[in-house]
Structure 1
Amino acid sequence: MLLNRRVVVTGAGSGIGKAIVKRFLKEGACVLAVVRKPEQVEEFASHKDFSFVVGDVNDYSTNELAVTSAIKKWGGLDVMIANAGVWDFFKKLQKMSVTELEDGFSQIMSTNVKAVLMAAHASYSELNKTNGCLITTGSNACFRPGGGGPLYTASKYALRGIVGQLALDFAPNVRVCGVAPGATDTPISGTDALNQRQKSMNSDRSRLDSMGQHIPLGRVSSPEEHTDLYVMLASANGARYITGTVLVSDGGLTAGQ
């Protein structure tokens, strides 16, 4: 479905981002990954349709470099996937110091919200030329509380609004959509401000087991289980009339809401 589609994926070094890279290459896409460390994508280095840039999505220059590199390598860009994100490990507001609140808000909003806007800004001109699409990675926290603490939830509600607004602003040539995974077995980390940079979601297996008990399907997902939606949204013909929406992939957690 993705033969020769030219794609940039941020946050591609692990978890859902890495699963997207692997699946898209299998589907025939040309993929440029944005990672923090080259060794995160060593397994794809020999693939003829793979490339990467190293940088921080919180810097506009990284987003711009990813787009210009894809254009230089493949002559254009069809899909921008703004996937990078950080979590807050359910950190409660009343448990934060004032400094943690101020700096934690800034860092989480930067990665989960501002970086998406920067990716959109950097890619819009090229996507407009190719009738391409922007896809963001949201969360069940886009729709309901309980997927994290207040900082994470605020960032994901904001992301849902961005998808809707950019769909209006970028129409008719660029579609804007999101995928909202539920609890997923990934090493997503936190922020320096909340002293969570070295933590990862799936390092605590009891936490994942507890999450799974609240999901109708009875378990957390693997990153690979979300990639079908990204493939559909990124394809040239599979989602031609879908824009402005966030598709939920959460094992039924938000059912009925």
Structure 2
Amino acid sequence: MVRRYVAEGARVVAVDVSARVSELADELGEAVIPVVTDVRSWEGNVAAATAAVEQWGRIDVFVGNAGITDGARPLEQIPGGQLTAAFDELMGINVLAPMLGVRACLEQLIATRGTVILTGSYASTNAGGGGALYTASKHAVHGLIRQLAYELAPDVRVNGVAPGVAPTRLRGTAALGQEAGDSVLEGTERALPLQEVAGVEAYNGVFTLLASAEAGAMTGSLVTVDSGLSIRGIARPGGRV
């Protein structure tokens, strides 16, 4: 996404908990400012916003894309003693972090009549796309998109993107003893109406559209980009499969 935004002429503050984010600056030069921080930190979000303003004088778009998974762990398989810590960790990254990011950028976004884009999920509107914690968090992101679109209209547009199965390594919930793992299981493509798992580049166009004036009439929308997962049939994934 950072590469696509830079290719479109944007300048990007790229934020990640991993120091690997600095590699983007090595690759893309002065178009990218890397910030290494935990997105649950108010100070980290302020530092990212401040970096943009000090370097380029404005903020036009905030993208909240950080997220972790619960490994599709059912509630009954989470020991009660671990539940609070797991809830705080997952909700902190998936829900609190985008709130903090929007708040840190808010004055600038209002001044530029900017745009907010949050990453939801198939699990934002469906069961079975994760466990109880993950599904609750992504439903919350959907609600946050709608509420912020209401609160910030007409000055700031707020939309989201809901991927289905994206080929990424998603970090698990440390409080549940989970590590990062591949988000795509073998054979997943056979369950999708389009019969293939799209690469991460397949989402870049939607994020670019929502950041642009071409989406000027869109706010409060969650755009589904899930290879047809949410419309798959019971007997067959697709009518001709």
Please, what TM-score do these two structures have when normalized by structure 1?
0.86
Between 155-164 and 28-37, the greater mean CA deviation after superposition: 28-37
Q: Aligned with 1:183: secondary structure?
A: coil
Question: Unpaired runs of 5+ in structure 1?
Answer: 1-19
Q: Aligned with 1:208: secondary structure?
A: coil
Question: Who is 1:9 aligned against?
Answer: none
Rounded Cα–Cα distance in structure 1 between residues aligned with 2:75 and 2:20: 36
Rounded Cα–Cα distance in structure 1 between residues aligned with 2:84 and 2:189: 32
Rounded Cα–Cα distance in structure 2 between residues aligned with 1:212 and 1:103: 34
Residue 252 to residue 195, structure 1, CA distance change in 2 (3 Å): same
* Aligned partners of 1:209 and 1:219 also within 8 Å: no
CA positional deviation for 1:128: 0.2
Rounded Cα–Cα distance in structure 1 between residues aligned with 2:232 and 2:154: 31
Question: Who is 2:217 aligned against?
Answer: 241
Larger radius of gyration: 2
* Aligned partners of 1:36 and 1:54 also within 8 Å: yes
Question: Who is 2:203 aligned against?
Answer: 226
Q: Which amino acid aligns with 2:201?
A: E
Between 34-43 and 156-165, the greater mean CA deviation after superposition: 34-43
Per-residue deviation, residues 204-244 of structure 1 (Å, max 9, x unmatched):
xxx52343222111122211111110000111x21101000
Rounded Cα–Cα distance in structure 2 between residues aligned with 1:213 and 1:100: 35
* Aligned partners of 1:37 and 1:54 also within 8 Å: yes
Question: Who is 1:136 aligned against?
Answer: 118
Q: Aligned with 1:238: secondary structure?
A: helix
Q: Aligned with 2:208: secondary structure?
A: helix
CA positional deviation for 1:80: 0.3
Question: Who is 1:33 aligned against?
Answer: 14
Q: Which amino acid aligns with 2:207?
A: Y
Rounded Cα–Cα distance in structure 2 between residues aligned with 1:104 and 1:211: 27
Per-residue deviation, residues 128-168 of structure 1 (Å, max 9, x unmatched):
00010110011010110111111100000011000000000
Question: Unpaired runs of 5+ in structure 2?
Answer: 234-241
Percent identical pairs in the alignment equals 37
> Do structure 1's residue 172 and structure 2's residue 157 form an aligned pair?
no
Moved over 6 A (4+): none
Q: Aligned with 1:209: secondary structure?
A: coil
Equivalent pairs, count: 232
> Do structure 1's residue 98 and structure 2's residue 74 form an aligned pair?
no
Between 213-222 and 61-70, the greater mean CA deviation after superposition: 213-222
Please, what TM-score do these two structures have when normalized by structure 2?
0.92
Residue 256 to residue 173, structure 1, CA distance change in 2 (3 Å): farther
Residue 105 to residue 210, structure 1, CA distance change in 2 (3 Å): farther
CA positional deviation for 1:172: 0.4
CA positional deviation for 1:43: 4.2
Structure with the larger RCO, 1 or 2 (CA within 8 Å, 6+ apart)? 1
Question: Who is 2:64 aligned against?
Answer: 82
CA positional deviation for 1:120: 1.2
Q: Which amino acid aligns with 2:171?
A: S
* Aligned partners of 1:182 and 1:221 also within 8 Å: no
Question: Who is 1:155 aligned against?
Answer: 137
Q: Aligned with 2:38: secondary structure?
A: coil
CA positional deviation for 1:256: 8.1
* Aligned partners of 2:25 and 2:31 also within 8 Å: no
Rounded Cα–Cα distance in structure 1 between residues aligned with 2:211 and 2:87: 31
